[in-house]
C-alpha cells in the first residue's frame, strides 16, 4: 500500500486563487512522486495543475470556488515545493471561497458542511484506491475580510480556534498550518496577523508555515494594486506557494 499525505487547502480569495491572468506552468514535481487534486463533483483525483479548485454552488449560494476565471493560485507551487522537500505523494482538497469572514466558516453554515464533505470525499477515495494517509493537515490563508470589518484580535482568534476544534471532529486532521495574512489596501491587518501568531504560540496544533505575504507590495510585483487591492499576482502566488510548501514539508519531517 502506497502512502500519501493529505492537505485541505482552505480560506478566502488568496487561497482560492485570484491572479491577474493565465499563469506560467508550475515547476515540475520530483520524479517518482505524485500530487493530485481531488475533484468532488466528479469524484476523481487529477494531477495538480492550474487552475485549482472547482465551483460548488448550492441553492444559488457559492459555497466553494475554483481559481477565478481559471487563472492562477498557490496550490500548484505549494505541491511542487512540498514534493521536492518531502519526497512524499500528496493529495489536495481545494476548499476555498473569496470574500469570506471567519464567521462564515463556522460549523452550522453550508460552507463548513460542504468543505467537510469534500475533504471526507477525498479521504474515502484515497482509501478506496488503497493509499495509506500518513499526514493530514489543514492549510489556511484567510483574514482580509475580517480586517475590512475590523474583527478584533481576540475575537478572530476565538473564531479561528472554534472552527478548528469543530473541523477536526469531522475530518481526521492533525495540524493547522497557517499562511499568515499580509498587508492589503487601507484596511487594518495587524490584529489578524497578531491573532494568527498568538494561536501558533499557544495552541499545539497550530503552526506558521509562511509570513512572506507581509512583504508583498505592488512595487515588488507581488500584489496587483488598486484594481485588485487584496490579491497577489501570479508571481506572488508562486513565491508564497513555494515557501509554504517547503516549510510544511520541513515541519512534518520534524
Task: Using a cut of 0.85, tell me whether the model's pTM lies above it.
Answer: yes
| Average pLDDT of adjacent 10-residue blocks, the chain of 254 residues | 96 98 94 97 98 98 98 98 98 98 98 98 98 98 95 98 98 98 83 97 98 95 89 97 98 94
User: In the prediction, which pLDDT does 130 show?
Assistant: 97
**CA–CA separation, 74 vs 242, rounded Å?**
8
Q: What is the CATH number of the domain that holds 238?
A: 3.40.50.1110
How many domains are contained in the chain? 1
**CA–CA separation, 93 vs 116, rounded Å?**
10
Q: How many CB atoms lie within 10 A of CB 199?
A: 21
**Among the listed residues 217, 216, 197, 215, the one whose alpha carbon sits nearest the alpha carbon of residue 207:** 197
User: In the prediction, which pLDDT does 178 show?
Assistant: 99
User: In the prediction, which pLDDT does 252 show?
Assistant: 98
Strands 90-96 and 175-179: unpaired
**CA–CA separation, 183 vs 137, rounded Å?**
25
**CA–CA separation, 182 vs 239, rounded Å?**
13
- Domain of residue 46, residue span: 2-253
**CA–CA separation, 9 vs 53, rounded Å?**
10
**CA–CA separation, 5 vs 52, rounded Å?**
18
Amino acid at each position: 500500500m502506497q502512502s500519501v499525505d493529505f492537505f485541505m487547502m482552505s480560506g478566502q480569495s488568496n487561497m482560492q486563487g485570484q491572479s491577474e491572468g493565465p499563469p506560467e506552468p508550475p515547476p515540475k514535481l520530483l520524479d517518482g512522486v505524485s500530487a493530485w487534486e481531488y475533484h468532488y463533483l466528479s469524484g476523481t483525483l487529477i494531477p495538480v495543475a492550474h487552475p485549482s479548485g472547482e465551483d460548488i454552488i448550492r441553492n444559488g449560494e457559492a459555497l466553494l470556488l475554483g481559481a477565478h476565471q481559471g487563472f492562477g493560485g498557490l496550490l500548484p507551487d505549494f505541491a511542487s515545493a512540498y514534493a521536492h522537500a518531502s519526497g512524499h505523494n500528496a493529495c489536495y482538497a481545494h476548499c476555498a471561497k473569496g470574500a469570506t469572514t471567519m464567521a462564515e466558516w463556522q460549523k452550522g453554515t453550508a460552507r463548513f458542511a460542504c468543505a467537510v464533505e469534500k475533504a471526507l470525499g477525498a479521504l474515502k477515495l484515497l482509501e478506496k484506491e488503497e493509499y495509506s494517509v500518513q499526514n493530514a493537515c489543514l492549510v489556511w490563508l484567510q483574514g482580509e475580510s475580517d480586517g475590512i470589518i475590523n474583527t478584533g484580535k481576540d475575537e478572530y482568534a476565538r473564531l479561528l480556534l472554534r472552527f478548528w476544534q469543530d473541523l477536526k471532529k469531522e475530518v481526521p486532521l492533525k495540524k493547522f498550518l497557517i499562511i499568515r495574512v499580509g498587508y492589503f489596501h487601507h484596511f487594518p491587518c495587524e490584529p489578524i496577523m497578531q491573532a494568527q501568531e498568538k494561536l501558533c504560540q499557544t495552541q499545539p496544533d497550530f503552526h506558521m508555515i509562511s509570513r512572506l505575504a507581509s512583504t508583498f507590495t505592488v512595487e515588488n510585483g507581488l500584489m496587483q494594486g488598486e484594481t485588485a487591492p487584496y490579491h497577489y499576482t501570479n508571481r506572488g502566488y508562486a513565491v508564497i506557494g513555494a515557501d509554504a510548501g517547503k516549510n510544511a514539508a520541513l515541519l512534518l519531517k520534524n
